Structure 1
Amino acid sequence: MADDDRPATFASPACFLHEIDPAYAGLPGPLDLQAWTDVNRWRKAERERLIAERLAMPAATRLACGEAIAARVLDEIGDVTGRIVSAYWPFRGEPDFRPFLLAVTERGGRTALPVVVEKGRPLEFHLWQTGEALSRGVWNIPIPAVPNPCRPDIVIAPVVGFDACCYRLGYGGGFFDRTLAAMSQKPRVIGIGYSGSRITTIYPQLHDIPMDVVVTETGIIRPQASTVRALT
């Protein structure tokens, strides 16, 4: 049975905080609460549309796209010897990057998974490699059974949607932005998703942090020079 056909008991990434004012979640608040309400409502509808579209993709197509994306990411990263790369556990039609984690270790790198401490707090990253034990964390998200916190050099961030400026539409929890904002040394952030997930804009707000690059099965998107924050 494919992961997407299983009951929703093992979930990743950790992005299920309520749809609320970002300031409540410890992020910079919007300048205009009404504008944020409008953007939030739009994002929720767009999120549902994009997730439905990728779940409708044939499993074989998703697999092929995931393999193509992983190959591009490995090329983009280059030499991983001695570097820590954090990825994720696939959820709701996301590209399956578990083989990617194995490839990183085979090339001399180290791998990690994100760990939810609790709602409203940044994620932690813990070392884990293929074959090691997993346990169920917050919201049944698979996490390393043996805690081993680390600071990743590279973070692979799955997207629901993305725009030309490499802003990320996630699941609405704010964990991604909160985590990056709390890090004294920002890792390189590589967003990954299907080419069909590209949208004109996510209407970025003060709390949104762009990714360094987005990789899809068809190519690599680097942030455009002009980054406009809309509806702030």
Structure 2
Amino acid sequence: MTESIPPLDKTDLRRVARQRRREVALAQGPAAARALAGLAGALGLAARAVVAGYWPLEGEIDPLPLMEALAARGHVLALPAVTETGGILEFRRWSPGEALETGPHGTRHPAAAPPVVPAALLVPLLAFDRRGFRLGYGGGYYDRTLAGLCRDGRILTVGLAFATQEVDTVPTDPWDIPLDLIATEQGVIVTAGK
């Protein structure tokens, strides 16, 4: 963890975290993405597990090298699609190089690919703490999706972040679900929340 961020409410923490993430992405983005790719074997995934990642938005740590490394290890990949405002995410099977279409909020996803249920979910975030709580963007898509996936069966949840996105405590709400792992360019953190 680098310079500590004082306790803030979610709105203020989002603003500070976005700025911090933007700065580190400019300075370390490609190297950090390559380091994440080297962690593919450290996530403890079952053989041929379906892993849902995400298409990176500006400033997010790039999950694509990690996803390519997972595909090379025999895992099936998927990307999320927003099918309705205020709904849950639908995960569509995807392989690197396949065509994508633009979704809401600047996302990208397969246009017409079969939906899959992931065994592992790579989750973007603005900030995280060692308990496994993440600060998202405020739309609630991952909160609603995680609630459904965790209720329906066991899923491994892995937050992807730059190490500098760690904070002492993420403010939480009753519906927040802690992640199992956080993967940064410095390694994998097993959270206290699981």
TM over 0.5: yes
**Shift of the alpha carbon at 1:43?**
1.0
In the alignment, is the contact (CA less than 8 A) between 1:154 and 1:189 conserved in 2? yes
Instruction: Find the counterpart in structure 2 of residue 128 from structure 1.
Output: 94
Is 2:54 aligned against 1:103?
Answer: no
Distance 2:106 2:33 in 1: 24
User: CA–CA distance in 1 between the matches of 2:105 and 2:168?
Assistant: 32
Q: How does 1:1-232 map to 2 (within 5 A)?
A: 42-57=9-24, 59=26, 61-72=28-39, 74-78=40-44, 81-183=47-149, 184-224=152-192
CA RMSD of aligned residues (A): 2.1
AA aligned opposite 1:193: A
Q: What TM-score, normalized by structure 2, do the two folds share?
A: 0.87
TM-fit CA distance, 1:150: 0.3
The aligned length equals 186
| Cα distance, 1:219–1:79 mapped onto 2, change above 3 Å | closer
Instruction: State the match for 1:27 in structure 2.
Output: none
User: SS of the residue aligned with 1:150?
Assistant: coil
State, as a whole percentage, how many aligned pairs show the same letter: 33
Relative to structure 1, is the Cα distance of residues 101 and 221 closer, same or farther in structure 2, using a 3 angstrom cutoff? closer
Query: What amino acid sits opposite 2:33 in the alignment?
Result: G
Of structures 1 and 2, the larger Rg is shown by 1
In the alignment, the residues of structure 2 paired with residue 141 and residue 200 of structure 1 have an alpha-carbon distance, to the nearest angstrom, of 29
Alpha-carbon shift at residue 210 of structure 1 (Å): 0.4
CA apart distance, 1:188: 0.5
Given that residues 80 and 104 in structure 1 are in contact (C-alpha distance below 8 angstroms), is that contact kept between their aligned partners in structure 2?
no
Contact preservation (8 Å) 1:180, 1:186? no
Distance in 2 (alpha carbons) for counterparts of 1:70 and 1:118 = 31
The two structures have a TM-score, normalised by structure 1, of 0.74
Deviations along 1:167-192, one digit per CA (max 9) or x if unpaired, are 01111111111001122114100111
Structure 2: gaps of 5 or more residues: 1-6
Alpha-carbon offset, residue 221 of structure 1? 2.1
